[in-house]
Structure 1
Amino acid sequence: MHVELRCRCGQLRGEVDNAHPYGHARCYCRDCRAYARFLGADDVLDAQGGTAIVAVPPDAIRFTTGDARLACLSLSDRGLLRWYAGCCKAPIANTARDARIAYVGVIADALEPQDRDAAFGPPRFVLNQASAEGQVPGTPLATAIGGGRIFLRLLAARLRGLRNRAFFDVDGAPLRTPQVVDAPRGA
């Protein structure tokens, strides 16, 4: 099943194949909050400051329209690359800085809701629970299983030589130069 990926204004569109997802989690880290808030996209955060993220291999993503609108920021010189639509500032995904790490954390709100829920279900585990802006039910076993599953899939992708071609060029450079921003990370 292919789930539509789109920015808020619809100028950037694509699709995500759900054939081999790594997992669906809710992240409460300060950096995910800072990313959303810097873009003025507080609506992707839940009441405790968490962001739903669907982790997939990079070959599961294909941009179909408006990929020139894709923009990139980072919260530090070495931090994750945080991809967004430059046209409407919609958060799209997170990647490592290294194209050899075959991981894309798609912001769940960038996916068509009905198809997203059918394809990936609800978030199954939480990450960075201690950084939440309020009480969040823990999922220790689900987090261990989900984290282990992501690690094993990353390892398998590395052994197969899979590279991130959705957000990086053939030489391994990001498709867009990351803008390093100083966004308050707060509590």
Structure 2
Amino acid sequence: MTTDVTNPDLMQRAKAIKLAIFDVDGVLTDGKLYFLVDGSEFKTFNTLDGHGIKMLINSGVRTAIISGRKTPVVERRAQNLGIQHLYQGREDKLVVLDELLGELGLDYAQVAYLGDDLPDLPVIRRVGLGMAVASADAFVRQHAHGVTRARGGEGAAREFCELIMHAQGTLDAAQAAYL
């Protein structure tokens, strides 16, 4: 874990989290878009991030993806990881957030969001724990509650998950299961 767990504000915010939401491009990936000659798209994902998301789910935190782009590879990744809520092709992420909170009966303080660019900023500023990846736009980093040390697609999501689990006292047990 590399996120600053000595930051009392981050720890307090992370304690209340019941839902963690991830952007895709630039967060779960390195932000590059790869297109094949036939027009199909592929993305690369980090296995460390994936395992962090699985541990977070196993600790009892719900998960979601909200992405402005729509691609079958993201649907497949979400299914593989057990991410419960997937919203693709949705430009206004705040509208999606409100729909999801209504469905789950949660409030903003119980939500964490990890993003990287301006379309993520309204959600980052609204939720209880709004974070940016190290490679995020500078303006987004400036307005987030915290910034991961890892770049998007390079372990940032794992850091984010472990921060929440550390604050909630579930990380040690999750890691100890592998000893």
TM-score normalised by the chain length of structure 1? 0.26
Higher helix share: 2
TM-score normalised by the chain length of structure 2? 0.26
Higher strand share: 1
